[in-house]
Amino acid sequence: MSATLRVRRCGCPLAGHRAGKTARAVLWAWLWMGAWAVVLSLAAGAVSAESLRAEVKPYRGAPCLFVNGKPRPGFMGNSAANGDVTMTDGRCVVDSVGSLETRTVKTFPGDVVVEVAGRCLEARSDTDSAASLMLKTPTAWYYLCLGRNDHKNTARFWKWRPQGGKFDLIATPEWNWRIGEEHRFRLERMGDEVVGCMDGREVGRDKGTDATGEAFVCLSAYWAVAAFSGLRVTCGGQTLLEDHFHYSPDADGQPHWRHGGGAHARAYARAGIKLLTVTVAASDYWMDEARYSFAVVDGRLRMIRRQHPETLVLVRLNLQAPGWWQRKYPAEVAIAASRTGQLSARKSPSPSSAIWRKHSAEALAALLRHWRDADVQESILGYAVLSLAGGEWCYGWGEALDDYSLPQRTGFRAWLTRKYADDAALRAAWKTDVGFDKAEVPPASLRLRAGKCGELFDPLEGRWAPDYLEYHSHAMAQSL
**pLDDT, tens digit, for every residue of 29-88?**
333 333 333 333 333 333 343 567 777 888 777 777 787 888 876 677 777 777 788 888
Tell me the mean pLDDT in the region 315-328.
93
Q: For residues 175 and 198, what is the distance between their CA atoms, to the nearest angstrom?
A: 9
Angle at 450 between CA 448 and CA 456, to 5 degrees: 95
Enumerate residues 6+ apart whose C-beta is below 8 A from 133.
114, 116, 118, 143, 144, 185, 187, 217, 218, 219, 228
pLDDT at res. 74 = 64
| Antiparallel, parallel or unpaired: β 333-337 and 70-72 | unpaired
pLDDT at res. 77 = 79
Specify the amino acid at residue 206.
D
CB 235 within 8 A of CB 110: yes
Please tell me whether the peptide bond between 403 and the residue prior to it is cis, using omega within 30 degrees of 0.
yes
Residues 348-406 pLDDT 10s: 999 999 999 999 999 999 999 999 989 888 889 889 999 887 788 888 777 789 999 99
Tell me the mean pLDDT in the region 109-119.
93
Alpha carbon of 10 to those of 296, 315, 379: distances in Å?
17, 10, 8
Q: Widest CA span of the chain, in angstroms?
A: 90
Confidence check: pLDDT of 473 > 50: yes
Left if phi > 0, otherwise alpha if psi is -120 to 50, otherwise beta: which for 16?
left
pLDDT at res. 357 = 95
pLDDT band for position 209 (50/70/90)?
low
Q: Which of 256, 321, 319, 315 is nearest to 288 (CA)?
A: 321
Q: Which of 22, 52, 17, 70 is nearest to 380 (CA)?
A: 52
Tell me the mean pLDDT in the region 324-328.
94
Choice among 11-25, 54-68, 144-158 with the minimum mean pLDDT = 11-25
Angle at 383 between CA 377 and CA 385, to 5 degrees: 140
Residues 175-185 pLDDT 10s: 889 999 999 99
Ranges in the chain annotated CATH 2.60.120.560: 84-261
- What is the value of pTM for the model shown? 0.69
Q: For residues 133 and 138, what is the distance between their CA atoms, to the nearest angstrom?
A: 17
3-class state of residue 134 by DSSP: strand
| Environment class of 185 (CB within 10 Å of its CB; exposed 0-12, middle 13-18, buried 19+) | buried
Q: Say what percent of the chain tops pLDDT 70.
A: 85
Angle at 369 between CA 126 and CA 305, to 5 degrees: 65
Enumerate residues 6+ apart whose C-beta is below 8 A from 158.
142, 143, 145, 167, 168, 169, 170
Helices (H) and strands (E) in the chain, counts: 9, 28
Q: For residues 225 and 218, what is the distance between their CA atoms, to the nearest angstrom?
A: 15
pLDDT at res. 2 = 40
Tell me the mean pLDDT in the region 446-462.
78
DSSP string, 153-185: EEEEEEEEETTTTEEEEEE--B----TT--EEE
pLDDT at res. 364 = 95
Q: Which of 305, 146, 301, 137 is nearest to 221 (CA)?
A: 146
pLDDT at res. 349 = 94
Torsions phi, psi of 365, nearest 5?
-60, -40
pLDDT at res. 38 = 31
Confidence check: pLDDT of 18 > 80: no
pLDDT band for position 451 (50/70/90)?
low
Tell me the mean pLDDT in the region 407-426.
96
Q: Which of 6, 47, 54 is nearest to 30 (CA)?
A: 54
Mean of pLDDT over the chain = 82
For domain 84-261, give the CATH number: 2.60.120.560
Q: Say what percent of the chain tops pLDDT 90.
A: 45
Confidence check: pLDDT of 6 > 70: no
pLDDT at res. 36 = 35
